[in-house]
Each structure stands twice: as C-alpha cells, then as structure tokens.
Structure 1
Amino acid sequence: MYTREQASQLRQAFWTAFGQYIAPQLSAEGYRTNWSNYKTGFKHVYFRMRAEKKFATISIELTHPDPGIQELYFEQFEELKTLLHETLGEEWEWELHSVDEEGRTISRIYKELPSVNVFNQEDWPALISFFKPRIIALDEFWSDAKYSFEALK
C-alpha cells in the first residue's frame, strides 16, 4: 500500500511520462497541445483521462450545473455520434446524468480499459497505448465538431 504522497508522486510520474511521450504530436490543426490537460474551449465540456488502481478511462465529460443544458450538449454529441465513432475507430459508452465522485450530476461518453494499475510501472505502456490514439482521435473529431456547439456556448 502506498502513502498518499507516494501515490501522488507515482500518478505525477505517469502523467509526466505520458506528456513527454505525446508532446511531439501536433493537434489536428497543427498546434502544440497540452494533451494531458486538453482544452476544448467550452466551459463544462472536458476531455478527461483517468488512470486508477484497477482501470483507466478516457471520456468526454459534460459538467454544466443545469441538467437541462447538460442534456442539450449530450444531444448535440448524439447528433455527431456516427462521426465520433468513425473518428475513434470504435464505439464508446454513453451515459446521460450520472453522479461523479463529488456528487455532481454529469454526463459522459467514455471508453474504459480494465485490469490496469497506474501504480504498476509495467502497466504504463498499456496505459499510454490506450490514451494516445484516443486523445488524438478526440482532437481530430473536435477540430470539426466544435462548431456544432457554438449556439450552446
């Protein structure tokens, strides 16, 4: 078992390693990007990567505090579902109005990788191989799709 500080250091070491590995990759629009902390340009729309003790996820999270507006964003993503899945090369899970760890209502579109542990450095290549193509594909999707969300901004 790790102390809180050791766990924090290991997580930070993983995300630093991931950031260094993916740093040379330019965005779909040709810009340098902070892939680990991807900015969508829309408040309450996030691309999140999480690496935990038993799994990893990459997701599009919609966190608007108004559930009705959150649902509008979700419906707009549903309109683009075919494009999203084609760009990703796979289908993801769709979850309207679930509750996160802090008790907030969120909606998310996500893919999970089970049976990996961020605290086991032997799993880091699998985690990087899981995150890298998907965050790049999300960026490619978003470079076209973001304009469909302007009315909700």
Structure 2
Amino acid sequence: MYSKQEVSKLKEHFWTAFGKYMKPVLSADGEPISWLNYKTGIPGIFFKMDADSQQASVSIVITQSDSRFYNQFVDNKTFLETTLGESWLWQPNRMDEYGKTMSTISTRIQHVNILQSEDWPTIISFFKPRIIALDEFWSMAKYGFEALL
C-alpha cells in the first residue's frame, strides 16, 4: 500500500514523463500544444486523460448545460469515430461525483496501474494516439461548436 504522498509523487512522475514524451508532438495545425492541459477554447468542453491503480481513460467531458453542445458531438459522431479509428462509449446527461450533470464520450483500458512504472508504456501507448486523434478531430470540428456560443 502506498501513502497519499507516495501516490501523489508517482502520479506526478508519470504525468511529467508523459508531458516530456509528448512535447515534440505538434498539434494537427502544426503548433506547439500542451497535451496535458488541452484547451478546446469552448467553455464546458474538455478533453481529459486520467489513470489510476486499475485503469486509464480518455474522455470528452461536456459540462455545458446547453444540450446543443452534446448534440453537436452526436451530429459529428461518424467523423469523430472515423478520426479516432474506434467507437467510444457515449453517456449523455449523467451525474458526476458532485451531483453536477455532464455528458461524456470516453474509452478506457483496464488492468493498468499508474503507480507501477512498468505499466507506463502501455498507458502512454493508450493515451498518445487518442489525444492526437482528438486534436485532429477538434481542428476541423471546433468551428461548429464556436457557432453555438
């Protein structure tokens, strides 16, 4: 069992390593980008990577209360999943742990542990192509979302 401090330090080491690994990768628009803090430019739409002692996930999180934003993703589902090269789990209008309504579009892998450095290559190999594909999708689709603002 790890202490809270050890868990925090191991996670920090993973995210630092992942950030360094991704630093030379440019966005779909050819610009430097912060992959760890991906900015969609649309309030209430986030691209999130997460990992814990059991799994890793990549998600589009929509906290925007206007349902048109989720529906815009639904309208672009074929384009999104073609760009990703796989189908993801679509969950409209669900509650987060704080009781706030949100929608998510996500995928995950099981049986990986961010606290075990030997799992890091698997987690990185999971994250990298998916966040790059999300960026590629977003570089084309964001204009439809901007029109909703």
**Aligned counterparts of 1:146 and 1:56: Cα–Cα separation in 2:** 25
Q: Which runs of no fewer than 5 residues in structure 2 stay unpaired?
A: none
Q: Which runs of no fewer than 5 residues in structure 1 stay unpaired?
A: none
Greater share of residues in helix: 1
Aligned to 2:102: 106
Confirm whether residue 117 of structure 1 aligns to residue 135 of structure 2: no
The amino acid of 2:94's aligned partner reads S
The amino acid of 1:152's aligned partner reads L
Confirm whether residue 8 of structure 1 aligns to residue 4 of structure 2: no
**Residues 106-152 of structure 1, C-alpha deviations (whole Å, 9 max, x = no match):** 10000111111101111000000000000000000000000011222
The amino acid of 1:129's aligned partner reads S
Shift of 1:103: 2.3
Runs of 4+ in 1 over 6 A off after TM superposition: none
Shift of 1:86: 0.6
Aligned to 2:76: 80
**Aligned counterparts of 1:99 and 1:120: Cα–Cα separation in 2:** 30
The amino acid of 1:143's aligned partner reads S
Aligned to 2:136: 140
Aligned to 1:152: 148
Q: Which of 112, 118, 127 matches 2:123?
A: 127
Shift of 1:83: 0.4
Aligned to 1:19: 19
Aligned to 1:58: 58
SS of residue in 2 equivalent to 1:102: coil
User: What is the percent sequence identity of the aligned residues?
Assistant: 50
Aligned to 2:92: 96
Confirm whether residue 37 of structure 1 aligns to residue 33 of structure 2: no
Q: Structure 1 length as normaliser, TM-score? A: 0.95
Shift of 1:53: 1.0
Shift of 1:100: 1.6
Q: Structure 2 length as normaliser, TM-score? A: 0.97
Aligned CA RMSD, in angstroms, stands at 0.8
**Aligned counterparts of 2:97 and 2:7: Cα–Cα separation in 1:** 18
**Aligned counterparts of 2:113 and 2:97: Cα–Cα separation in 1:** 19
**Aligned counterparts of 2:119 and 2:43: Cα–Cα separation in 1:** 33
